[in-house]
Amino acid sequence: MTRLAAPKRVVRLDGPRSTPSAVIRELPRARWVHFDTHGFFEDAGVKSALSPDANPLDQFRVEGMAGIARTPLVLSGLLLGAPDQPTRDGEESSELLTAEAVAGLSLPDLDLAVLSACDTGLGTVVVGEGVFGLQRAFHLAGARSVLATLWEVPSDATETLIAEFYTNLWQKKLSTIEALRQAQLTLLKDRRRLDRSTVTAPKGVDALSSAARGEPRLPTRRWAGFVLSGDWR
């Protein structure tokens, strides 16, 4: 993605350098931000203080406060650091950036946040308030547009789609929504674009190309997961 951003100044926070403190320090200076990492979402059994409960005292008696989160925004976020690199004790080397931490920032100069991970457009539904999650957190902080996902997106299709999206946005000067639309149409209509990709899908996940399966077009779930919210221009 760095190549596509040229000649713009790019700050890369890879591996151990991508700590929550480093991301929080750099975010207010950014016009565009791209997260290519894992998202996290708490178990559905964990309730927030805003979630309705027919018998709230029952949960306190059984679980105590451990089962209650003060806000839905602490129930989702991003996994930073080096989540795929185990440490000496066998644990994953990673830290969490919660949606609550993002919502507390001031990001008036952020034009676009791309959350290139699975399920980043999802969150906790609160009656009368809507969905609380990463997408909402970035908007609360001031981001004009957020590109997020509604389900688990395959890595090979995602990398191809995002490369097309940035090419459309920065080189062809299309609007944000049109850049996404054209990128999705490219994958939908030209399955060879994905078939030519050098990205290898995880073992057992979308291992066969659409051509190998004899499908005339790329399956919807492989290209339609990304959605744009906020200012579409």
User: Tens place of pLDDT for every residue, the chain, 233 residues?
Assistant: 677 787 888 999 988 888 999 999 999 999 999 998 887 776 555 555 445 454 544 544 444 444 445 677 888 888 887 655 554 444 444 688 999 999 999 999 999 999 988 888 776 766 555 567 888 999 999 999 999 998 888 888 899 999 999 999 999 999 999 999 999 999 888 766 665 554 444 444 443 444 444 556 788 888 899 999 999 88
What is the reported pLDDT for 59?
47
The answer to whether the predicted template modeling score (pTM) of the entire model surpasses 0.85 is no
Structural contact between residues 139 and 111, judged by C-beta atoms closer than 8 angstroms: no
What's the token pair of residue 192? 């060879």
CB 35 within 8 A of CB 114: yes
Q: Which of 34, 49, 65, 35 has its CA nearest to residue 124?
A: 49
Coil, helix or strand for 48? strand
Q: Identify the pLDDT of residue 101.
A: 93
Residue with tokens 């080397």: 93
Of 128, 118, 161, 139, the closest CA to residue 230 belongs to 139
Pairing outcome for strands 68-69 and 32-35: unpaired
**DSSP secondary structure letters along 216-229:** SS--HHHHS-EEEE
pLDDT at position 92 is: 47
What integer pLDDT is reported at residue 125 of this predicted model?
65
